[in-house]
Structure 1
Amino acid sequence: MKIGPQDNGASLRRRWGVPLGVATGVTAVSVAAVVALGGRGDAGPSVAGPAHGGGTPAGSTSAPSPSTSSSHGGASAESGFTITDATTTPIDAGTVTGILSSCLGPDASQYQPVLAVRTPLASADWDGVVVAVNSADQYVQCQSKGDRGSSPDSPPTFINDRLWGTGRVIEYFDSMMQPAGEGKYLVLGAGHYSSEVSKVTVSFGDDPKQYPARMAGGAFVYGAALSPDTPPGPRYMGPSPYVHAYDASGKEIYNQAEDPKFAGEQ
């Protein structure tokens, strides 16, 4: 499903909904920098004391975008969950090359990776994500499985058509969740940030705990292992992720839960 710039206000819901917005505009960094540094910022804690979310749902279960409930989409009554790990680790340069080549085909040579990380656990289809940018400052996101890459977008580079909204500091690439074994789910997402952002974090559902995202080259990536506190139903949607952005002074300058862009869908 391809969505053009005119649809940039579409739901931010994960990949079973629609693709998320994307922006253009920063300089790429080298493969060596990606591999050596793994992106700017902490990848997220190896959670010794897991974060818990849940509680009483907020009432409305029809909107598939952020709300204060841990259960969304009208398809799940389960509200409790535990984030067991939010640690991502760098992918080596040779593997990144293979991921982009298999994901982008002949277009791969036009892109340089800015972020390439493995997620805390693997699902049947994914175990990481690579974000890359071309000379026109256009981005692409490829999910990885071993040394192979794929994208739910068609073509994989279609997110390049998504443009910044006026005055925005955060824009979104793809965000998604997939089962990763009995009672476990992989949550991953990515996006773009403007120059005034110094730190990006993500929280889940109504739990206030925030986990640092990987950041490099104007892009951010997060990944987390999630377990429902009770056995989920067949259409379990999980908690919505909320992205937060901070400036150099530590002031929060963006909170996805308060983003007017999605206010009509809450």
Structure 2
Amino acid sequence: MKIDPEDNRASLRRKWGVPLGVATGVAALSVAAVAVFSGVGDAKPLLASPAGNPAGTGSPSPSPSTPSTPHGSKSAGAGSSPSSAPEAPAPDAFSITSSRTTPIDAGTVAKILSSCLGADASRYHAVVAVRTPIASPDWDGVVVAVNSADQYVQCESKGDKGNSPDSPPTFINNRLWGTGRTIEYFDSVSQPDGKGQHLMLGAGHYASGIAKITISYGDDPKEYPARMAGGAFVYAAAVSPGTPKPDPHYSGPNPYVHAYNAAGKEIYSQKKDPQFVDES
């Protein structure tokens, strides 16, 4: 599920739940919650360029879904027969047109945290701060910061203004861990850019022993490196929906987190995590 913190629109494409220890007393807090996605499968890592972005990003990466079953037409007493109309792609076909992020300068980061955290901003220092590959009406970047108690906050940005969908902003800490407590999931959001694409962005925390984190989308096995620093990771992507055009509630493909150790071995895959398996 991906939740737009501005108007609380949600795409209930997967079942999810907040652990009982977290759910108690949460009703009065922000309804913008961590994104939890499901699925099965395996994937191979895509090597990052020295800048931390996948080689070749910025050019379309077609990601067709499983073709839909051809439509049939019925005539009286003749059963069904294939239609002569061309086969339409599955509604969730998409392509990642870019996953390239760029750093936000220190002065702007300070303004983003100040508007996001108010008087508490001075207690935090940013560990990851990037502009997204495209801008939506509400977001064009994300900043993850941490305080001396190792509590993280995630602030989405628009220009030099920041906001957090969580109340308090530290609500993301220990809210949801993947199986094995290797990856902790913060907020993940999606919003159309008004020009035919969708901006997807998210963040999280990783445990020690992880050297690389990548993100795959939907059924496409290609993986895109996330930005990592200070125990936090951030990812962002520009998604171009396929045809036919998605419904008004389309929120993009499900992102899946993959984690690798220093030897290049995958030690965590959200696609294989039992608590994210699709039960619908």
Q: TM-score, normalised by structure 1?
A: 0.76
Output the amino acid matched with 1:114.
V
Residue 145 (structure 2) aligns with: 132
Q: Is the CA contact 2:200–2:252 (under 8 Å) kept in the aligned structure 1?
A: no
How far residue 232 of structure 1 moved from its aligned partner, in angstroms, is: 1.7
Q: Which of 193, 200, 205 is matched with 1:192 structurally?
A: 205
Q: 2:115 matched to 1:105?
A: no
Residue 132 (structure 2) aligns with: 119
1:196-211 to 2 correspondence within 5 Å?
196-211=209-224
Greater helix share, structure number: 1
Per the alignment, do residues 41 and 242 of structure 1 end up closer, same or farther by CA in structure 2, a change over 3 Å counting? farther
Q: Is the CA contact 2:176–2:185 (under 8 Å) kept in the aligned structure 1?
A: no
Q: 2:251 matched to 1:223?
A: no
Q: Which of 60, 63, 71 is matched with 1:53 structurally?
A: 63
User: Match of 2:138, SS?
Assistant: coil
How far residue 155 of structure 1 moved from its aligned partner, in angstroms, is: 2.5
Output the amino acid matched with 2:274.
P
**In 1: Cα distance, 2:231 partner to 2:217 partner:** 23
1:126-156 per-residue CA deviation (whole Å, 9 max, x = no partner) reads 0000000000001000001000001111222
Residue 64 (structure 1) aligns with: none
Per the alignment, do residues 7 and 53 of structure 1 end up closer, same or farther by CA in structure 2, a change over 3 Å counting? farther
Residue 146 (structure 1) aligns with: 159
User: Percent identity among equivalent residues?
Assistant: 62
Q: Which of 99, 122, 129 is matched with 1:86 structurally?
A: 99
User: Match of 1:106, SS?
Assistant: helix
Per the alignment, do residues 41 and 182 of structure 1 end up closer, same or farther by CA in structure 2, a change over 3 Å counting? closer
**In 1: Cα distance, 2:197 partner to 2:136 partner:** 9
User: Match of 1:99, SS?
Assistant: helix
Q: TM-score, normalised by structure 2?
A: 0.73
Residue 31 (structure 1) aligns with: none
Output the amino acid matched with 2:115.
S
1:204-260 per-residue CA deviation (whole Å, 9 max, x = no partner) reads 000011000000001000011001012221111321001110000000111111112
Structure with greater contact order relative to length (CA < 8 Å, sep ≥ 6): 1
**In 2: Cα distance, 1:193 partner to 1:5 partner:** 22
1:68-83 to 2 correspondence within 5 Å?
78-83=91-96
Structure with bigger gyration radius: 2
User: Match of 1:94, SS?
Assistant: helix
**In 2: Cα distance, 1:185 partner to 1:135 partner:** 35
Q: Is the CA contact 1:190–1:222 (under 8 Å) kept in the aligned structure 2?
A: yes
**In 2: Cα distance, 1:233 partner to 1:212 partner:** 29
**In 1: Cα distance, 2:64 partner to 2:114 partner:** 40
Output the amino acid matched with 2:211.
S
**In 2: Cα distance, 1:119 partner to 1:251 partner:** 28
Q: Is the CA contact 1:204–1:239 (under 8 Å) kept in the aligned structure 2?
A: yes
Output the amino acid matched with 2:249.
R
Output the amino acid matched with 1:209.
K
How far residue 167 of structure 1 moved from its aligned partner, in angstroms, is: 2.9
CA RMSD of the aligned region, Å?
Answer: 2.7
Which of structure 1's runs of 4+ aligned residues deviate more than 6 A? none
**In 1: Cα distance, 2:228 partner to 2:235 partner:** 9
Q: Which of 251, 260, 266 is matched with 2:274 structurally?
A: 260
Output the amino acid matched with 2:220.
D
Q: Is the CA contact 2:144–2:232 (under 8 Å) kept in the aligned structure 1?
A: yes
